[in-house]
């Protein structure tokens, strides 16, 4: 997976699109603002670039990348979508929209975009490389589709302990731990990322989880190396515990992986988002399951029965009061009407009695 930094966004090929001088100038200013860390100004200038030519995908592409970096994932989805609308030949925009959909937590939309990306690829050989599609399918529980995707990925990108771990998760969910270990993807000692070989041994049942954490801290790593190693350890401990049926521990380690600082590496930073989205999805599923369990429990049924009876009793009391008070209300209303008429008559009589005095006073004043 590769990504061009915002400060070095690829200039559009003149053969693909003509960029106006005004739009190019706003894009240049926005890039400069990014390099200076002035992200709000960069976003404002990127919007000016979009407005300079609203049918050109270039402005949407750049602003989408900027919104993604600012974690404005919904806005990024809209920008990549608009760019793709005006340049449907730019399949990279479709793939970037899928990534933004995933980060926004809209997993089914992300899967749909990745599948559309596969369908519209002229080069079918690129489809197996969609590791991200397999991850999204695994998170939503589409285990068979995810398993096939990781097995396909293994054909073109073998010796990947991460793919082996995700593949293990999908098989374990579908067929159990025994089948998952029997069908594990092969990984050789060429896997150099610490502690991914220990992670692989843990999934095979040859190593305890604590040894993975110990391997991540071993030696004399730099601060950056330690952060990477601990991130991998936490992420794949989370996936291991999800596969082995311990969701509480799975969420704990996924949240620890999510809390890692930004690496400045597109792949690692995307996997941080994976940890967050996976943890969120697990919590959502747990809440749904808990609600369903409560709804089917005898206690909930008793509460609902009591509530219905209380509502019925309340309605009955209101009806009884209405029936009892109706005659009194009917008696009181005519009395109230007569009293109002008497007040009107008294007021009219008083006004008529005072009119001669007022007229006389007016005549006296006029003389």
Q: What DSSP designation does 3 have?
A: -
Give me the pLDDT at residue 3, please.
39
Q: Is the peptide bond before 195 cis (omega within 30 degrees of 0)?
A: yes
Give me the pLDDT at residue 130, please.
86
User: Which DSSP helix (H) or strand (E) runs through 197?
Assistant: helix 196-204
Virtual torsion, Cα 136, 139, 142, 148, nearest 10 deg: 60
Give me the pLDDT at residue 15, please.
47
Residue 349, CA atoms < 13 Å, CB-side half-sphere: 6
Which tokens hold the place of 269? 């930073």
Give me the pLDDT at residue 367, please.
45
What Cα–Cα distance (Å) separates residue 41 from each residue in 33, 277, 308? 6, 29, 58
Residue 269, CA atoms < 13 Å, CB-side half-sphere: 13
Give me the pLDDT at residue 330, please.
64
Residues in the chain: 367
Give me the pLDDT at residue 317, please.
77
Give me the pLDDT at residue 247, please.
94
Give me the pLDDT at residue 14, please.
43
Give me the pLDDT at residue 340, please.
60
Q: How far apart are the C-alpha atoms of 31 and 51, rounded to whole Å?
A: 17
Residue 129, CA atoms < 13 Å, CB-side half-sphere: 9
- Could you list the mean pLDDT of each consecutive 10-residue stretch along the chain, which spans 367 residues? 43 63 94 94 96 94 96 96 95 95 96 92 73 95 95 88 96 96 88 91 95 94 94 97 96 96 90 96 84 66 72 77 70 59 60 56 50
Q: What is the CA radius of gyration of the chain?
A: 35
Q: How far apart are the C-alpha atoms of 33 and 42, rounded to whole Å?
A: 5
Which tokens hold the place of 27? 């894009």
All structural domains of the chain with their residue ranges: 1-122
**43 touches 66 (CB < 8 A):** yes
Q: pTM of the predicted model, to two decimals?
A: 0.74
| DSSP string for residues in 332-361 | HHHHHHHHHHHHHHHHHHHHHHHHHHHHHH
**Could you tell me the fold of the domain covering 1-122?**
1.25.40
Q: Which of 68, 54, 57 is nearest to 4 (CA)?
A: 68
Which tokens hold the place of 24? 């190019």
């Amino acid at each position: 997976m590769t990504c061009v930094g915002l400060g070095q966004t690829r200039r559009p090929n003149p053969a693909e699109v003509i960029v106006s001088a005004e739009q190019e100038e706003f894009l240049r200013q926005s890039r400069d603002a990014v390099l200076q860390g002035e992200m709000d100004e960069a976003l404002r200038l990127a919007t000016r670039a979009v407005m300079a030519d609203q049918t050109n995908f270039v402005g949407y592409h750049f602003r989408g990348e900027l919104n993604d970096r600012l974690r404005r994932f919904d806005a990024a989805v809209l920008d990549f979508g608009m760019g793709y609308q005006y340049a449907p030949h730019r399949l990279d925009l479709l793939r970037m929209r899928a990534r933004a959909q995933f980060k926004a937590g809209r997993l089914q939309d992300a899967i749909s975009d990745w599948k559309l990306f596969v369908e519209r690829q002229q080069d079918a050989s690129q489809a197996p490389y969609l590791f991200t599609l397999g991850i999204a399918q695994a998170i939503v529980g589409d285990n068979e589709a995810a398993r096939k995707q990781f097995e396909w990925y293994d054909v073109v990108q073998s010796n990947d302990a991460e793919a082996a771990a995700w593949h293990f998760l999908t098989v374990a969910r579908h067929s159990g731990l025994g089948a998952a270990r029997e069908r594990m993807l092969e990984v050789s000692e060429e896997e150099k990322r610490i502690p991914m070989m220990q992670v692989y041994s843990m999934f095979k049942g040859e190593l305890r989880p604590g040894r993975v954490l110990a391997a991540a801290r071993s030696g004399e790593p730099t601060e950056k190396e330690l952060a990477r190693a601990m991130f991998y350890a936490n992420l794949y401990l989370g996936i291991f515990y999800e596969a082995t049926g311990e969701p509480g521990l799975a969420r704990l380690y996924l949240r620890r992986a999510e809390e890692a600082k930004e690496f400045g590496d597109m792949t690692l930073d995307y996997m941080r988002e994976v940890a967050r989205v996976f943890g969120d999805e697990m919590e959502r599923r747990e809440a749904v399951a808990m609600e369903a369990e409560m709804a089917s429990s005898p206690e909930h049924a008793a509460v609902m029965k009591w509530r219905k009876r209380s509502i019925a009793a309340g309605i009955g009391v209101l009806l009884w009061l209405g029936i009892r008070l109706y005659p009194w209300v009917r008696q009181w209303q005519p009395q109230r009407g007569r009293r109002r008429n008497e007040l009107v008559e008294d007021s009219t009589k008083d006004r008529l009695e005072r009119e001669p005095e007022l007229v006389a006073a007016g005549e006296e004043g006029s003389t």
